[in-house]
Amino acid sequence: MNKILLTFLLLSFVFGISIHSNLISAEDDDFEENESENEFEEEEDSEDFDEEEDFDENKDKSKTKEKTSTQFEGYVMEEEKEIEFENGKQKIEIQRRIRYENGTEITYKIKIEEKEKNGEIIQKISVEGKGPEVESKLKLKTINQGNESIIRAMLSNGNETTINFLPDEIYSRIREQLHTQNISIELEEKVHKNIPKVIYNIEANKNGKFLGIFKMKLKIEEEIDAETGELLKMNTPWWAFMVSEDEEESETETENETLINQTNNS
């Protein structure tokens, strides 16, 4: 009887150990499955995050286009404006087409583009095919006034100034005034009579003859208000009155100007 009881107890003990081992094994399997599922979910989350980053990076480039047409007395002005942002820099192109009642048509394109130069962000503004590209450290933008795009510059005091006179107009004026194409122009902020203004800073070298005999270059500096077109300042050497115009050089400049105008109009 005692042997039977002892055998029963041993069998019960072995059976209990076996069941406990199976339970532990099952729990381990469940734990491994849960770990695997969690890792899979983490991988999925990671993939979603990468896709969002790519999406955000794609957002860094955008482009908008606008078209307008305005009827004025004697002519119609059509305008197409395209603004593009890429990597934090903007590029603006304004294409204007003016149609007169007599059939004459004038087309020109204004470009404003942000570039990096010597570690600084500068703006470049130009009228395509007319005059030089003008650089500026001022922040430039365009706003709509009626159906026309207006270019504005931000001053250091937070105010804005409208640029009514474009670089090609200033360049043409200086070229006619001095009969030279050796002209450099920058758009910058200057204080004039205690008032901050956006001005064109101009440097030109004019060919001449000192005392009517010796050929030389006369350096001339001017500042012109970009909003009003007013001449604010002009610097010439004190002996400039002793320099006469070099007629030979003037004729060459005139021929070059004629050639440039013919090229731009063709």
Greater confidence, 190 or 243? 190
Mean pLDDT of 161-172: 93
pLDDT at residue 186 tops 80: yes
**Is the pLDDT reported for residue 125 higher than 60?**
yes
Max CA distance (Å), the chain = 146
* Sheet of 139-145, strands arranged across: 139-145, 148-154, 160-162
Q: Where are the beta strands (DSSP E) in the chain?
A: 61-72, 75-86, 89-100, 105-117, 120-127, 130-136, 139-145, 148-154, 160-162, 183-192, 195-210, 214-225, 231-235, 243-245
Condensed to tens digits (0 to 9), the pLDDT of residues 67-88 reads 888 888 888 989 999 999 887 7
Confidence of residue 59 (pLDDT cuts 50, 70, 90): low
Burial grade of 8 (CB within 10 A; 0-12, 13-18, 19 or more): exposed
Q: What is the pLDDT of residue 27?
A: 47
For 200, counting Cβ atoms within 10 Å of its Cβ (0-12 exposed, 13-18 middle, 19+ buried), the class is buried
| Distance of alpha carbon 233 from alpha carbon 229, whole angstroms | 12
CA 47 to CA 145: how far, in whole Å? 47
Task: Report residue 45's pLDDT band, with 50, 70 and 90 as the boundaries.
Answer: very low
More confident residue, 106 or 199: 199
With cut-offs at 50, 70 and 90, classify the pLDDT of residue 251.
low
How far is 204 from 229, CA to CA, in rounded Å?
A: 18
Task: Quick: pLDDT tens for 131-160.
Answer: 788 999 999 998 888 778 899 999 999 999
Question: What pLDDT score was predicted for residue 243?
Answer: 81
Please, which pLDDT band fits residue 202 given cuts at 50, 70 and 90? Answer: very high
Mean pLDDT in residue range 95-105 = 89
Residues 234, 240, 245, 249, CA torsion sign: negative
Q: What is the pTM of this model?
A: 0.66
For all residues of the chain together, what is the average pLDDT? 76
CA dist., res. 174 & res. 172, Å (int): 6
16: pLDDT strictly greater than 70: no
Q: What is the residue whose two structure tokens read 């009881």?
A: 5
Does 33 have pLDDT greater than 50? Answer: no
- Measured distance between the N- and C-terminal CA atoms of the chain, rounded to whole angstroms: 125
Pairing of strands 243-245, 231-235: unpaired
Q: Is the dihedral of CA 237, 243, 246, 247 positive or negative?
A: positive
- CB contact at 8 A, 67 and 60: no
176 within 8 A of 164, measured Cβ to Cβ: no
Distance of CA 77 to the CA centre of its chain: 25
Residue holding tokens 């005034």?
177
pLDDT confidence bin for 119, thresholds 50/70/90: confident
| Residue of 229, 108, 112, 75 lying closest to 164 (CA atoms) | 229
pLDDT attached to residue 3: 55
Contacts of 89 (CB under 8 A, 6+ apart): 113, 114, 115, 121
Quick one: tokens of 202?
A: 């101009």
